[in-house]
Amino acid sequence: MPTLEPDHDILVFDKVEATYGEAPILRGVSFGVHKGKITTLIGPNGAGKSTVLRAALGTVRVTHGQIVYRHQPITGVSTTDRQRKGMAYCPQGRSNFPRMTVRENLEMGAFLRSDREVQEDIETLLDEFPLLREKQKEFAANLSGGQQQILEMAMALILHPRILLIDEPSLGLSPIMVEQVFAYVKEINGQGVTVLMVEQNARRALAISDYGIVLDLGRVRLKDTGEALLNNEEVSRSYLGS
């Protein structure tokens, strides 16, 4: 069984605490995200899963502990600098610009880049996601929910991220689209991008994940491979809703 070894970890949470208003959300979370793998955070509502992603991105303030990214503590590094250093984020729910075209959305995904290859990269992405090329001149609002989720993932990829933080990609999608979105996540990972994902649809997500982390009430309950967690009876009973 592979272990979570710090040397392999691109992102490490070390006793991280965070509050939302006055209420503590993360109460000392420690784990590592293995470079080049898919790691999924599962757990009940209010466990603090989304907060983990936001803390990594820096939109939630960490009150105690630290986050280490590529062997460097990133406390005090601004969100945009973290994004420049290779963190990309797909928030929960629709996070595109509904009255801008698909192509304009992709350009906005490249907002932090000022090099000349942006248009080339957009072309490459449109090749990778043919359904986006087909609709490149349409408003994002005219795409189906699943197509919008794929657009948002593509927007995140333009920054050439080392790690993709993705929050509930399957939320509100039809079963067929869920399959397709997970297939894309797998494909993105295949290109060498580390993925840290939050998913309600825990069974499906663990099935494509290398590792899983169970979060409950702001603490890490279990860390293991995706497969092991799927076969763990207690996890099945308490968190997978079998």
Partner 1 sequence: MVILAQLINGLATGGLYALVAAGIAMIFGVSELVNWAHGEFLMIASYLFFALYVLARLPYPIAGLCTMLLMLAFGALFQMIVIRPVVHRPWQTQLVATLGASIFLINSAIVVFGTFPRRAATPLSMQNLTIGSLSISYQRLLLIGLTLFAFFVLHMFIHRAKLGKAMRAVSQNRDACVAVGIDIQLIVLTAFAIGGSLVGLAAALYAPLGNITPLMGIPLTFKAFAVVIMGGFGSVNGAVASAVILGVVEAFTIQFLSSAYVDAMSFLMMLTVLVWRPFGLFGRQVGI
Scanning 100-108, 168-176, 196-204, 208-216 for contacts with partner 1 by CB under 8 A, the matching segment is 100-108
Q: Which stretch binds partner 1 (CB under 8 A): 68-76, 93-101, 183-191, 228-236?
A: 93-101
What whole-number distance in Å separates Cα of residue 142 and Cα of residue 199?
25
Select the residue interacting with partner 1 from 66, 71, 108, 142 (CB under 8 A). Answer: 108
Regarding 66 and contact with partner 1 (CB under 8 A), the answer is: no
DSSP assigned state of 209? -
Residue whose tokens read 């076969």? 231
**Contact flag: residue 116 with partner 1 (CB under 8 A):** no
* Interface pick for partner 1 out of 18, 26, 67, 90 (rule CB under 8 A): 90
The size of the chain, in residues, is: 242
If one asks whether residue 119 binds partner 1 (CB under 8 A), the answer comes out as no
Q: Which residues are 72's β-sheet partners?
A: 69
State the chain's maximal CA–CA distance in angstroms. 52
Reading phi first (left if > 0) and then psi (alpha if -120 to 50, else beta), residue 48 is in left
**37-45, 82-90, 192-200, 229-237 -> range binding partner 1 (CB under 8 A):** 82-90
> Taking the CB of residue 130, how many other CB atoms lie within 10 A of it?
9
Binding site for partner 1 (CB under 8 A): 59, 79-80, 83-84, 89-91, 93-100, 104, 107-109, 111-112, 152, 155-156, 159
